Chains A and B, each alone.
Chain A
């Protein structure tokens, strides 16, 4: 879990060099620094805010903030973790400003001590990633993420969507590793509970039609 993926060290060296260059006046290099992460920043904002226009605004604000505060970035965290922490802060500020009332009702304290019971099936037919080319499957996933309490959603976005490690997720959210694990576990089971039955219905490989079409040739 704590070992860096291959290439991570090289990427970090490249980023350190870019940051030094930007801070010494080559400002336009900020474009290159940010390019690999703009998708991640947008996803993080969108998953939290659930609104494309707001998410784009927050993503832009977060990236501008990262530029202005670049000198305060310390090399002890990864740049991406630092950037996502800024994004989460911007998104939370936006949520608090607009949706204080509904945010309270979505608080995960409702699930604090409760156990989540997964959907109980007796078999599972694998959905390949091509399933996501179907609008129906994508919107089921988006809806299930949107329905999670916000504190669970944050953890699942960083860990499972943006594939940060548990440690990086804890760092970006400013919470303990054990709290990340608890929330992640409940969030994953809630997603399974919501999605497994729906995906099973939505995803039916169209094999039968192929067989029928082929029959006359035999």
Chain B
């Protein structure tokens, strides 16, 4: 099947996750081979997803962990977990 750009955009997420049927995947790849726009849409989307997974996007507040474990200490020493 010959896909237009819209068809390709609709499949970008599944393409990136590798969940397209092999036939559809081949159709998408055929389109990508000659379409600069869809190639750039794919590359930029994939790039953004990779950056998104980086811990540096949101940094932990200073001493977050110390405050959390101090609060836990107080609770752990005075309370047992609820019984099931």
Q: Is the CB of B51 within 8 A of A118?
A: no
- How distant is the Cα of A76 from the Cα of B30 in the complex, in angstroms? 42
CB-CB under 8 A from A133, the residues of chain B are 56
Map CB proximity to A onto B29-69 as digits: 1 under 8 Å, 0 otherwise.
00000001101110111011111111111101100110111
With contacts A124-B40, A141-B51, A188-B12 known, is A43 near B72, CB below 8 A? no
Which chain B residues have a beta carbon within 8 Å of chain A's beta carbons? Answer: 6, 9-10, 12-14, 16-17, 19, 36-37, 39-41, 43-45, 47-58, 60-61, 64-65, 67-69, 71-72, 75-77, 79-84
With contacts A72-B84, A119-B44, A141-B51 known, is A56 near B17, CB below 8 A? no
- How distant is the Cα of A129 from the Cα of B9 in the complex, in angstroms? 25
Residue from A23, A38, A184 within 8 A of B81 (CB atoms) = A23
Q: How far is the CB of B67 from chain A (nearest CB, A)?
A: 7
Residue from B13, B40, B80 within 8 A of A121 (CB atoms) = B40
Tell me, yes or no, whether A151 is within 8 Å of chain B by CB: no
Number of inter-chain CB pairs below 8 Å: 148
Residue among A27, A31, A166, A191 with max Cβ neighbours from chain B (10 Å): A27
Residue from A38, A118, A124, A160 within 8 A of B9 (CB atoms) = A118
Q: How far is the CB of B13 from chain A (nearest CB, A)?
A: 4
Q: How far is the CB of B22 from chain A (nearest CB, A)?
A: 15
Tell me, yes or no, whether A95 is within 8 Å of chain B by CB: no
Chain B interface mostly: helix
Interface residues of A in 106-156 (CB under 8 A from B): 115, 117-124, 126-127, 129, 131-133, 138, 141-142, 145, 156
Tell me, yes or no, whether A70 is within 8 Å of chain B by CB: yes
Residue among B57, B61, B65 with max Cβ neighbours from chain A (10 Å): B57
Q: Is the CB of B56 within 8 A of A123?
A: no
In the complex formed, the residue of B with least CB distance to A70 is B81
